[in-house]
Amino acid sequence: MNDMSTKKINTSVLPGFMELLPPQQMAFNRMKSVIIDTFEQFGFLPLDTPVIERAEVLLAKAGGETERQIYQFTKGDTSLALRFDLTVPLARYVSEHAREITFPFRRYHVGKVYRGESPQKGRFREFYQCDIDIIGREKLSLVNDAEIPSVIYKVFKRLDIGQFVIRISNRKILKGLLEGLNISTDKSVEVMRIIDKIDKVGKGSVEKMMVDLGIENDTITKIFHFLDISGNTDEIIRALEAMDIQNVQYRQGVDELSQVVTNVGKLGIPVSNYAIDLSIARGLDYYTGTVYETVLSEYPEIGSVCSGGRYDNLAEMYTEQKLPGVGISIGLTRLFYQLSEAGLIKTDSSTPTKVLVVPFVSDLSQPLSIATRLREAGIATEVYLEEDRMKNKLAYADKLGIPFVVIIGEDEIEKGEFSVKNMRNGKQTQVKADELLAYIESEGSK
Amino acid sequence: MNDMSTKKINTSVLPGFMELLPPQQMAFNRMKSVIIDTFEQFGFLPLDTPVIERAEVLLAKAGGETERQIYQFTKGDTSLALRFDLTVPLARYVSEHAREITFPFRRYHVGKVYRGESPQKGRFREFYQCDIDIIGREKLSLVNDAEIPSVIYKVFKRLDIGQFVIRISNRKILKGLLEGLNISTDKSVEVMRIIDKIDKVGKGSVEKMMVDLGIENDTITKIFHFLDISGNTDEIIRALEAMDIQNVQYRQGVDELSQVVTNVGKLGIPVSNYAIDLSIARGLDYYTGTVYETVLSEYPEIGSVCSGGRYDNLAEMYTEQKLPGVGISIGLTRLFYQLSEAGLIKTDSSTPTKVLVVPFVSDLSQPLSIATRLREAGIATEVYLEEDRMKNKLAYADKLGIPFVVIIGEDEIEKGEFSVKNMRNGKQTQVKADELLAYIESEGSK
């Protein structure tokens, strides 16, 4: 241990890592609890896999950008890596424990994942993902694709961060469309890339790029016809059905999407909270069927706060078993950051404590036993144990936003009455020892 | 992505890492929740710092064995490491945010830490620590040292894993004793090492080793006199006071210990749940005053399940400010493992789900809306969405330990009555639609 030089150690948090002060941490934890509680209400089982995985496990699924972002290292002669999402660990887990798991396997996982991205505003290298997935063995009913939005709906309703819309689409539609228009697989990727730019560069540029790619005019017209489809869910489904596309995948995609939105409606999700948005199928290329994105209507610039979809086979890298699934992920750290930036995070209290007991006696028996009694009644209570002036003791309660201070001096003990100060309105009241609990409970709920 | 070879990827969990099946995970999470809830009842604030720290931050405090166990790696040109405990991150955090923190700073932190130990039974490379600490600025009242055991008491009482004893001592006593006996600092370390072997090798061997070290007979007699001290807290304190040791540190240690156990008693902790144990001061050399260990009376072989103590200065490596503190840590992963081995972990249910709705209709509106209604009432509910035989649907509920199955077919919808099967006693009852909620609630609480 080096004494002189170590004073200079850099104690700031690493760039790209989030570290919160207690009031913000409490707000963050409240969001996390709402998410976990909702997941459990829908019968999802908790999972908590190691943050460190064998590098080969993670590299089997990663590729390109993701692979470069993985934190890799060696311990002994084992090549290790930090997980970059919760889906790959799920795939490994299900492959490894398939015989002990009951299918359909509904699991949630709330945990930290790691990506060594270039740090920039709102991008984190360590962040919480909150995932749910439903995994079937060999098959999984399409009704599950409708249940997932009902979980999203419940989560964001309870998070109470304003109006939101769950956008739903199906990847088979766009893929089937291009297939049905006889666009080769190679070109199809390029076409998707081009049409994804339409909002940025406009229709004219997109048309030119498609002509340059050698797409025929007739085909371009049909693509534009498809891109122009809009309306409510029924109108979009009818327009998709009316398109002159003879392709099995296309028809299947439209049929699946139609079933999913019908069932979403039956699940009691208000019409204003979900919509078909065919454009979201352009990205999310990990998925093979239904896809979801969720946007906060008042903060579209935040982008999707919850994305996911259906995949044909979760764990082909690790097992011969076919494991279709559907799931979503909430990037909580990023969401919290964005909501903070938008001023939407309430941090009115910076402690779980409801009562601060302030003793002015040398024998602490009474103050400590009062604190114990309040805690037994479920009221989070602290005793101010430092010797200090009254002013400083009240300042402590004030800074932390503790709502009640109970002052206990010799006089109070003799009279069997305590001074209770309501820190929110400054009111000070004499309360009998045996009425203290009832008083706090009734005042606290006001 | 390599298709053929990847089937052979090793999906087993890495040695030294814990990965649980859902029923065990639920039991683990229940323990974690009890701990967190208790910490909050005592007004500790949540903290959640990054798992990755600058290597220099961790290496400043580590040394010897710990340093060798640290997971280190480089990303870009930054030397990084995974935290090996939650105390060093706390020291860094408090140094960095001292101006924004309200002191005394009471924080809890439940998180994973990493130590690349040689894997062996009951030792983990990734494990949860559950820490509380109270940090003062410049000073921190000794009463805090008595409050910490009251938190430990509450936690283990609520965890309900049998009788336990919080052992309390003070490091100043043994250090002061050896100083008072004029044993040099060098020899003093050696003497502590020797007397720590007394339970293993016996008094005779210890005496011989001390003679070999050049300790005088008179001094050895006094040391043995000290080691023989036993009894209840009062008897031990009286015996310590009666020792003929004229050393300031010794006297201070005895005085502090006396005050701490007196206050622990006032805090309402039953006499059977705490005791002075002078022997625990031999280890725990990170601490400078009060020290704690907690042992499960029926499982002494598990060793201490919760250790901690008082330290003079938390963050001398990072700041000029003096930050005395007191805290404890529960090694939850190891504790859970040991309790599992001892058969003490109850895994009666393997899902949060209370009701499985089983539809036998093609239109799922009714089953889905019933599930929504049950969830609104706080009853975790799943709908079995796969097409399957009745037998398999019930087997799913049975395997997961879901207590109630609500069967909804055409008949049931027509009659406005559902069949509710209580999976615990096999009883099947017809329940009216509008009485379903009340029925589940009343049957579920039996």
- Across the interface, whether the CB atoms of B387 and A141 are under 8 A apart is answered yes
**B7: in domain:** no
Q: What pLDDT is recorded for position A445?
A: 75
| Tokens encoding A30 | 């409240």
Looking at residues A412-427, what average pLDDT do you find? 91
**A310: in domain:** yes
Q: What pLDDT is recorded for position A5?
A: 45
pLDDT at A4 over 60: no
Residues A45 and A133 in one domain: yes
Q: What pLDDT is recorded for position A7?
A: 53
Last-in-domain residue among B341, B376, B406:
B341
B79 Cβ neighbours under 8 A, 6+ residues apart: B54, B55, B56, B72
A52-54 vs A78-82, strand pairing mode: antiparallel
Q: What pLDDT is recorded for position B145?
A: 97
**B45: in domain:** yes
List of chain B residues whose C-beta atoms are within 8 Å of the C-beta of residue A368: 150, 263, 266-268
Q: Are A357 and A348 in contact (CB under 8 A)?
A: no
Q: What pLDDT is recorded for position B6?
A: 45
Looking at residues A398-412, what average pLDDT do you find? 93
Residues B426 and B305 in one domain: no
Residue A332 CA to residue A27 CA, distance in Å, equals 12
- Across the interface, whether the CB atoms of A41 and B100 are under 8 A apart is answered no
Which residue on chain B is closest to A51 by alpha carbon? B126
pTM: 0.94
- Across the interface, whether the CB atoms of A45 and B26 are under 8 A apart is answered yes
- Across the interface, whether the CB atoms of A318 and B7 are under 8 A apart is answered yes
- Across the interface, whether the CB atoms of B54 and A14 are under 8 A apart is answered yes
pLDDT at A200 over 70: yes
Residue in A12, A74, A75 to test binding to B, most B beta-carbons within 10 Å: A75
What tens digit of pLDDT does each residue of A15-61 get?
A: 999 999 999 999 999 999 999 999 999 999 999 999 999 999 998 87
B54 Cβ neighbours under 8 A, 6+ residues apart: A9, A10, A14, B78, B79, B80, B81
Residues A404 and A314 in one domain: no
Concatenating the DSSP letter of every residue in A11-30 gives: -SPPTT-----HHHHHHHHH
Q: What pLDDT is recorded for position A3?
A: 45
Residues A64 and A133 in one domain: yes
- Across the interface, whether the CB atoms of A60 and B364 are under 8 A apart is answered no
Looking at residues A110-131, what average pLDDT do you find? 92
Q: What pLDDT is recorded for position B62?
A: 64
Which residue on chain A is closest to B69 by alpha carbon? A75
Q: Are A100 and A130 in contact (CB under 8 A)?
A: no
Q: What pLDDT is recorded for position B224?
A: 94
Q: Are A198 and A227 in contact (CB under 8 A)?
A: yes
pLDDT at A396 over 70: yes
Instruction: Report which listed range, A233-242, A347-356, A383-392, B259-268, is most confident.
Output: A233-242
Confidence of residue A100 (pLDDT cuts 50, 70, 90): very high
Q: What pLDDT is recorded for position B3?
A: 45
Looking at A297-410, which runs of residues are DSSP E strands? 306-311, 325-331, 355-360, 381-383, 404-409
Residue given tokens 């199955």 in the structure block: B405
pLDDT at A6 over 80: no
Residue B137 CA to residue B377 CA, distance in Å, equals 47
What does the DSSP 8-state code read for residue A176?
H
- Give B239→chain A minimum CA distance, Å: 25
ipTM value, please give it. 0.94
With CA atoms as reference, report the closest residue to A155 among A282, A281, A286, A332: A332
Residues A111 and A30 in one domain: yes
* Domain interval for residue A440: 355-444
Into how many domains does chain B fold? 2
Q: What pLDDT is recorded for position B221?
A: 94
**A232: in domain:** no
Residue B406 CA to residue B354 CA, distance in Å, equals 11
Intervals of chain B under pLDDT 70? 1-7, 62-63
| Tokens encoding B51 | 């798992």
B166 Cβ neighbours under 8 A, 6+ residues apart: B149, B152, B153, B264, B269, B273, B274, B275, B292, B293, B294, B306
Residues A304 and A435 in one domain: no
Residues A403 and A305 in one domain: no
Provide the CATH number for the domain around residue A94. 3.30.930.10
Residues A308 and A384 in one domain: no
Residues A337 and A424 in one domain: no
Beta bridge partners of A144: none
Rounded percentage of chain A residues whose pLDDT exceeds 70: 97
**A305: in domain:** yes
Looking at residues A168-189, what average pLDDT do you find? 93
- Give A9→chain B minimum CA distance, Å: 6
Which residue on chain B is closest to A320 by alpha carbon? B7
Looking at residues A386-403, what average pLDDT do you find? 92
Provide the CATH number for the domain around residue B411. 3.40.50.800
Residues B398 and B336 in one domain: no
Residues A41 and A88 in one domain: yes
Residue B280 CA to residue B174 CA, distance in Å, equals 10
Alpha carbon A197 to chain centroid, angstroms: 27
Which residue on chain A is closest to B16 by alpha carbon? A50
| Tokens encoding B83 | 């935290």
With CA atoms as reference, report the closest residue to B314 among B299, B298, B326: B326
Residues B385 and B316 in one domain: no
* Radius of gyration (C-alpha) of chain B in whole angstroms: 28
Residue B334 CA to residue B117 CA, distance in Å, equals 14
**A366: in domain:** yes
Q: What pLDDT is recorded for position A201?
A: 92
